[in-house]
């Protein structure tokens, strides 16, 4: 586990940099989430607009509304936007942004975990 999560190695060694490493990890996960949500939100407006236009204010039964939403989703939402964007690009840009915005110092990048294992579902 320490190979996948360098902060654990600091903990095992009782290294005084542990608090900084854990802070860097937390900020990394927060930035990953923020960027993923923003990526998803870019597709939201066209989808919602299409649903509104398709409904045109008319009342629909639950099954009809569901079908309409599925049709709009098929036309306006990507099946896997993170895979389309590129996992390595996503992670790399996140790491760079943390340093560029001074959320973490550049040396702290070495303490960040390998998060690719948490995205293995992208290849399914």
Does residue 29 sit within a domain?
Answer: yes
pLDDT in tens, 14-70: 999 999 999 999 999 999 999 999 999 999 999 999 999 999 989 999 999 999 999
Q: Is residue 124 part of a domain?
A: no
Average pLDDT for residues 90-118, to the nearest whole number?
92
**Residue 47 located in a structural domain:** yes
Q: Which residue has the tokens 């600091």?
A: 10
Full-model pTM: 0.81
Domain assignment present for residue 66? The answer is: yes
Domain count, the chain: 1
- Considering the domain boundaries, does residue 98 fall inside one? yes
Which residues form the domain of 26? 6-112
Does residue 1 lie within any of the structural domains? no
Q: If you write DSSP's letter for every residue of 26-81 in order, what string do you get? A: HHHHHHHHHHHHHHHHHHHHHHHHHHHHHHTT----HHHHHHHHHHHHHHHS-S-H
Token code pair at residue 100: 């560029």
């Amino acid at each position: 586990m320490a190979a996948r999560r360098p902060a654990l190695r600091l903990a095992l060694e009782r290294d005084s940099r542990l608090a900084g490493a854990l802070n860097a990890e937390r900020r990394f996960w927060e930035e990953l989430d923020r960027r993923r949500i923003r990526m998803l939100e870019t597709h939201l407006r066209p989808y919602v607009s299409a649903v509104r236009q398709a409904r045109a204010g008319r009342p629909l039964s639950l099954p009809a509304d569901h079908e309409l939403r599925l049709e709009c989703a098929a036309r306006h939402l990507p099946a896997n936007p993170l895979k389309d964007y590129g996992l390595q690009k996503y992670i790399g840009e996140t790491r760079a942004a943390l340093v560029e915005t001074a959320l973490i110092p550049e040396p702290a990048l070495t303490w960040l975990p390998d998060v690719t294992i948490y995205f293995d579902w992208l290849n399914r």
